[in-house]
């Protein structure tokens, strides 16, 4: 099963994508996590991506698409994957569809996690991320067992640089301008499904599973 997660930054795409990946035994692929991993390790790719990410802008399509296509070509993606944060522009979606078309394949579902902008700022301000393993928490809604420490790997939890309120505003503007048109794009392709992302994490998950298995 090949799934694309759509939604504003902070809508809960990553949270749900990880749960779906566990349930279906397929990889969770987050282009944001790949960039952050590269930044942490000081690679040239990381340095380039950081200049865009810190301003709340998108990393250029050419670079992002190359990273994503390399990742989905790996053996563990043969039976499917959950894409989180990709595609974020129509050209990215078109390249992905073109690559899948070459092997007579396509995206099965684009799950739109719908959360209004008012809720997003609170979500992002409270998000804490583990830069070692990519796990995500929230100071109010999804607390780790011990403050500031990742349950999964013991790593340190931090407020992402791009989750500061000033950057969140630009990221939301970029979302509405460049990413939201994908909702129409996948609707036209007949694979769009929308869930109410303001509900509890488990309720959102149950809704998505019902859609995928319905």
- Residue 213 half-sphere exposure, CB side, CA atoms within 13 Å? 9
Distance CA 132, CA 23 (A): 22
Interaction residues for ligand ADP, span 164-203 (CB under 6 A): 197, 199-201
Q: Tokens 């035994």 map to which residue?
A: 25
- Segment near ligand AMP (CB under 6 A), from 54-62, 104-112, 114-122, 188-196? 54-62
- Segment near ligand AMP (CB under 6 A), from 58-66, 117-125, 192-200, 206-214? 58-66
Q: According to the 3-state scheme, what is the secondary structure of 174-209?
A: HHHHHHCHHHHHHHHCCCEEEEECCCCHHHHHHHHH
Q: Name which of ligand AMP, ligand ADP, none residue 53 binds, using a CB cut-off of 5 to 8 Å depending on partner kind.
A: ligand AMP
Structure-token pair, residue 188? 């036209």
Site residues for ligand AMP per CB under 6 A: 9, 30-32, 35, 52-53, 57-59, 64, 85-88, 92, 162, 171
Site residues for ligand ADP per CB under 6 A: 7, 9-15, 84, 123, 126-127, 136-138, 141-142, 197, 199-201, 204
């Amino acid at each position: 099963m090949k799934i694309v997660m759509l939604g504003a930054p902070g809508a809960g795409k990553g949270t749900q994508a990880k749960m779906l990946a566990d349930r279906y035994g397929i990889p969770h692929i987050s282009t944001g996590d790949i960039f952050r991993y590269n930044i942490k390790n000081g690679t040239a790719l990381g340095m380039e991506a950081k200049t865009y990410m810190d301003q709340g802008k998108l990393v250029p399509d050419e670079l992002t698409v190359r990273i994503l296509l390399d990742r989905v070509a790996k053996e563990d993606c043969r039976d499917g994957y959950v894409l989180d944060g990709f595609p974020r522009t129509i050209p990215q979606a078109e390249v992905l569809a073109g690559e899948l078309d070459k092997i007579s394949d396509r995206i099965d579902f684009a799950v739109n996690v719908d959360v209004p902008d008012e809720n997003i700022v609170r979500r992002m301000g409270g998000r804490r991320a583990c830069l070692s393993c990519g796990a995500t928490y929230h100071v109010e809604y999804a607390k780790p067992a011990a403050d500031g420490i990742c349950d999964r790997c013991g790593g340190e939890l931090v407020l992402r640089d791009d989750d500061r309120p000033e950057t969140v505003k630009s990221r939301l503007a970029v979302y509405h301008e460049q990413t939201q048109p994908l909702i129409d794009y996948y609707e036209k392709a007949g694979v769009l499904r929308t869930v109410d992302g303001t509900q509890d994490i488990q309720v959102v998950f149950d809704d998505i599973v019902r859609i995928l298995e319905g």
